[in-house]
Amino acid sequence: MRALLLLSILFLSACASNQTPYVLTTRWKDAPQPSAMDYSDPAAWSALPDRKDAADLLPLKSTLKDGQAEAKADVFFIHPTIFTYKPENEYVWNASMTDAALNSRVDSSTILNQATAFNAAGRIFAPRYRQAHYQAFVTEFKEDKAAALDVAYSDVKRAFEYYLAKENKGRPIIIAGHSQGTVHATRLIKEYFDGKELGKQLVAAYIIGIATPKNTFTTIPVCSSPNQTGCFVAYTTFLQGHLPPWHPGTVTELASVNPLTWSTDENFASKEKNIGGVSYGFKFVKEFADAQNHLGILWTNVPYVLGRSFVKLKNWHKADINLYYQNIRENAVVRVNTFLSQK
């Protein structure tokens, strides 16, 4: 029992830690930049549908199946910031795509816990990219932030163009991202889908973990029902009753879609509506967490696992997808099936 309690606490701490990441002291312009990779090289991808990788895995204690082999849609997944620690080489602002240790961290964290939520709905393409260090999101120097994110996005854009040219062949597309991945996904959607011909292939976008205004796109609305297509899902997760420091405390124009009801209303959805989340050790847990939209953010109580009474965390950003894993998984399938039925 004590071991189970410890595991529960470890999971909750790992998924929603508020620890301060490493602070860079070098300005972006003074830091060397790693080389870009050619996306025709499989090594430039965290996940590809024609090889065995972390995106093919399934949570322990679940009966889920990887549906990529039969999938009629594709998922372009952009991972969040994993580069938060003290750099281990000279590339401090944008990570090297050949950094084996970092690549392993990416694959064993976000690809495993987040990208796999979509492997029932489509073939998963997840590029490695010269991700910006976490410092880009907190630096006082706007030019450093812009430069680091531009480098990262340039890779995401090249990877997407390679995917379009070599792999898509007119298939429906889901765009999915979390945190920094959502920053790049939003930019990608604006450039390639919003009001563009390719928009006709967009099943939906799951752009999670960043405060996203409802009017972010011109022709792509917020998803307000579970089978709506050509729309986007967005939410950021905090403890029930908590407003983050940046929140005005009043009505906002931020998009927040409840991942248990797929509605934008502020009705509380109990844990009984949670088909299953993913806990410590990539384990499937039924009725993992509840959810409620509130003034443009998503509120949740501490997940219903052993040891929850010891957890006082307020920011559940790192667990945005883990908490609602199976609901996201099934919803992506619903939207793909709806999209295909409309053709």
pLDDT at 1: 39
Q: Could you give the CA distance from residue 197 to residue 317 in angstroms, rounded to a whole number?
A: 33
End-to-end CA gap in the chain: 53
> pTM score, two decimals?
0.95
Interval 114-128: pLDDT, tens: 999 999 999 999 999
Say if CB 230 and CB 204 are below 8 A apart. Answer: yes
Confidence of residue 19 (pLDDT cuts 50, 70, 90): low
Q: Is the pLDDT of residue 4 over 70?
A: no
For residue 178, the SS3 value is strand
Interval 286-327: pLDDT, tens: 999 999 999 999 999 999 988 898 998 999 999 999 999 999
Say if CB 201 and CB 232 are below 8 A apart. Answer: no
For residue 204, the SS3 value is strand
CA dihedral 176, 177, 178, 183 (to 10 degrees): -140
State how many domains the chain has.
Answer: 1
Interval 156-206: pLDDT, tens: 999 999 999 999 999 999 999 999 999 999 999 999 999 999 999 999 999
Q: 332: closest CA among 318, 343, 321, 319?
A: 321
What is the domain extent for residue 219?
A: 2-341
